[in-house]
Structure 1
Amino acid sequence: MSEGISQPDQPEDLGGGDTDLFSKFDDVIELRKGLLASGQEDPFNLVMEKVLSPTRAICNGRDTILLGTYNYMGMTFDPDVIEAGEQALRDYGTGTTGSRVLNGTYQGHKECEEALKEFYGMDHAMVFSTGYLANLGIISTIAGKGDYIILDIDSHASIWDGCAMGNAEVVPFKHNDVEALEKRLKRVPEGAGKLVILEGVYSMLGDVAPLREMVAVAKKHGAMVLVDEAHSMGFIGENGRGVCEAAGVIDDCDFIIGTFSKSVGTVGGFCVSNHPKFEIMRLVCRPYVFTASLPPSVVATAATSIRKLMHGSNKRAHLWENSRNLHLGLQELGFQLGTDAPESAIIAVIMPDLEKGAAMWEALLKEGLYVNLARPPATPANMTLLRCSLCAEHSEEEVTTILGMFERAGKTVGII
């Protein structure tokens, strides 16, 4: 022990009382205990023993239809994508063992960024190791102390975390409310930096932002605009560029954030932009500079998938057909849904409470159907949801089968 430095008395029990750093999680621990007390499956710890295709897997020894994977365009088993990954694995090995600014940029990383620039028609593209890191890095770097971030109250956790890391003033507004956005913008001090953050599709309810109106309001007040298109890239818009494209505002968006873990079918994140100074982000963005780059096999699969998505109009059309059929079928069965009409590939089935939601989730799993159980605080308005994410590879027959499973499970649990 160093001399001259007094040491505080050490508590006898580091695991009890006020000294327990885990005490803040006691409510969650009790909630989980309550869910598992009846012997039901853990809805947050499902193991897929074998994945058979983009739409089916073996779960608990049962052939299960997957309706909760965000594998919107079904690219995870595309032969060309798999071949590209296998070839890169043989040519470049298993990993880069370094950051993009040191030894972690291989030819595949540049090719992946070129594919993104071509896909979006943008001047710049920057690939991150995950979509979470893309939001964390871009937001925290461009909006700092003294700047203002005006964002939708239902924004994803990665967006909120990016705001916190950057230490900007954060001003939330009511979900999808154009008037509320404008009111917040009017209150920002004159001359302050302003960033408006929106999402194309919101992941919990599957609803779409009114981007045309919101981007116009943001630009009127001199704000830069960042849109997270994680849940719309690949299938919304004529070329699959997302809600920005469908709304006709893609050229007015300063930054578009996305992920490879949804429609692209692998892992990673990105930001595309036309800002003339964007390349400096490679030197000043900490979540880009201080983390290992994606393995060569991953960026090879991403680049191949992105280029194939450019020509995915038939798959997009079939995915929309699946979404319309499932949404209408669930409505006719009497389920309460998150949107009045299908707006995306996400369909949220609202449950009365967490207990009923967990029971319905387990009943569906026993039927041979996997969906996501989403609960507060991740959900808006303290809802409990069964979140369904459709895939372009779901057949018409599978959608019909899914509706039958929902009907039987819903009647068993007493939801309908």
Structure 2
Amino acid sequence: MSEGILQPDQPPELTGDSPDLFSKFDDLIAMRQGLLDTGIEDPFNLVMEKVLSPTRAICNGRETILLGTYNYMGMTFDPDVIEAGKQALADFGAGTTGSRVLNGTYQGHRECEDALREFYAMDHAMVFSTGYQANLGIISTIAGKGDYVILDIDSHASIWDGCAMGNAEVVPFKHNDVEALEKRLKRIPAGAGKLVVLEGVYSMLGDVAPLKEMVRICKENGAMVLVDEAHSMGFIGEHGRGVCEDQGIIDDVDFIIGTFSKSVGTVGGFCVSNHPKFEIMRLVCRPYVFTASLPPSVVATAATSIRKLMHGSNKRAHLWENSRNLHAGLRELGFTLGTPEAQSAIIAVIMPDLEKGATMWEALLKEGLYVNLARPPATPANMTLLRCSLCAEHSEQEVATILTMFERAGKAVGII
């Protein structure tokens, strides 16, 4: 034992002057316990005992249709993707045990970044260990103390956390409101650094941003633009490059952030850019410099998947067909949806409250259907949502079956 350091056998008891640091979570603990006390299965702790395909898994001993996995293009079981991962595992081992700036850059990491540059037709690509880290790293590094980040009020948690880490001034504006964005930009002090952060598709309601108008306003006001395309990369746009491509402004944005954990079907994150100074980010971006790099098998699967997505027009067309059919069917059944029409692969079914939402979630699970239960504060306007994420591998018959399950469960619970 080091001299002068107290190391008691038992930790000291808390006193009145030492508050329990978990007390801040008491309301959430009570809410969760209240749900569990009703006999409902924990909707935030589901275990998939075996995954059978991009659209099926064994949950609680029962074959279940997956409608909440973000596996938009169904690449998780693609034979070429799986084979690439197996080969990399055999050739390079299980992990890198190092940061990208030390020993953590393998041939596969460069090949993955090459695939991203080709996919987006951009000069620079930088791969992170997660999509969360991509936003955290890029935003916190670009926008620091004295700079301003202007962002949509419904931005993802990783965007907000990137702002906090960088210590920039944060200026939120009303969701998808072009006029509100312009007003905020015009109030920023002259000469200050300005970064506007937008998303192509917002993950809770599945609604699409009016990026064309927003990017025009940003450029007129001297702001750099970062667009998170996590939920649109792979299937929106002629080549699957996202909402930026679809709205014709991909060459006008400064940075595009994305993730491998959705359409690509594995795990990791990235940023692509045409900025001539972008490569310096590899030396100054702390979440990149101080994190172990992705395992060789992961970047191999990602690179293979990305290259296949370049030629995924048929899968994209089928995914859009699935989305439109499910949206129209749910609306005809009488459910309240988050968007007036299908805008993405996400369809949000609005519930009256959390208790009803959890009951409906469990009823669907018993039917053999898994969806996401989304609750405040993660949801906009304190809504409780059943969030459906369609996959290009869902068959027409599976979509019809899903609608039948929603109808039975909705009537049993009293939602419709």
Question: TM-score, normalization: structure 2?
Answer: 0.97
CA gap 1:164/1:47 in 2 versus in 1, 3 angstroms: same
Structure 1 residue 133: Cα displacement: 0.1
Task: State the SS of the aligned residue for 1:57.
Answer: strand
Task: State the SS of the aligned residue for 1:258.
Answer: strand
Structure 2 residues not aligned, in runs of 5+: 6-10
Q: Tell me if 1:309 matches 2:321.
A: no
Q: Deviations over 1:326-385 (max 9, x none)?
A: 000000000000000000000000000000000000000000000000000000000000
Task: State the SS of the aligned residue for 2:251.
Answer: helix
Q: Which residue pairs with 1:354 in the alignment?
A: 354
Percent identical among aligned pairs is: 87
Q: Which residue pairs with 1:261 in the alignment?
A: 261
CA–CA distance in structure 2, aligned partners of residues 16 and 89 of structure 1: 54
Q: Tell me if 1:119 matches 2:119.
A: yes
CA gap 1:366/1:222 in 2 versus in 1, 3 angstroms: same
Q: Which residue pairs with 1:213 in the alignment?
A: 213
Q: How does 1:6-405 map to 2 (within 5 A)?
A: 13-14=13-14, 19-405=19-405
Task: State the SS of the aligned residue for 1:63.
Answer: strand
CA–CA distance in structure 1, aligned partners of residues 130 and 351 of structure 2: 31
Task: State the SS of the aligned residue for 2:126.
Answer: strand
CA–CA distance in structure 1, aligned partners of residues 64 and 325 of structure 2: 20
RMSD of Structure 2 on Structure 1 (CA): 1.4
Task: State the SS of the aligned residue for 2:373.
Answer: strand
Q: How many residues align?
A: 411
Q: Deviations over 1:210-251 (max 9, x none)?
A: 000000000000000000000000000000000000000000
Structure 1 residue 316: Cα displacement: 0.1
CA–CA distance in structure 2, aligned partners of residues 25 and 19 of structure 1: 13
Task: State the SS of the aligned residue for 1:262.
Answer: coil
Structure 1 residue 14: Cα displacement: 2.1
Q: Deviations over 1:106-161 (max 9, x none)?
A: 00000000000000000000000000000000000000000000000000000000
Structure 1 residues not aligned, in runs of 5+: 6-10
Q: Deviations over 1:68-87 (max 9, x none)?
A: 00000000000000000000
CA–CA distance in structure 2, aligned partners of residues 321 and 157 of structure 1: 30
| 1:179 partner letter | E
| 1:396 partner letter | E
CA gap 1:16/1:335 in 2 versus in 1, 3 angstroms: farther
Q: Deviations over 1:186-224 (max 9, x none)?
A: 000000000000000000000000000000000000000
Query: After the TM superposition, which parts of structure 1 deviate over 3 Å for at least 4 consecutive aligned residues?
Result: 15-18
CA–CA distance in structure 2, aligned partners of residues 16 and 23 of structure 1: 13
CA–CA distance in structure 2, aligned partners of residues 315 and 14 of structure 1: 58
Question: TM-score, normalization: structure 1?
Answer: 0.97
Q: Which residue pairs with 1:8 in the alignment?
A: none
CA–CA distance in structure 1, aligned partners of residues 13 and 89 of structure 2: 50
Structure 1 residue 15: Cα displacement: 8.0
Task: State the SS of the aligned residue for 2:31.
Answer: helix
CA–CA distance in structure 2, aligned partners of residues 404 and 106 of structure 1: 48
| 2:43 partner letter | P
| 1:349 partner letter | V
CA–CA distance in structure 2, aligned partners of residues 17 and 202 of structure 1: 43
Q: Deviations over 1:17-39 (max 9, x none)?
A: 85200000101110110010022
Structure 1 residue 16: Cα displacement: 7.4
Worse-superposed segment, 127-136 or 38-47? 38-47
| 1:326 partner letter | L
Structure 1 residue 2: Cα displacement: 7.7
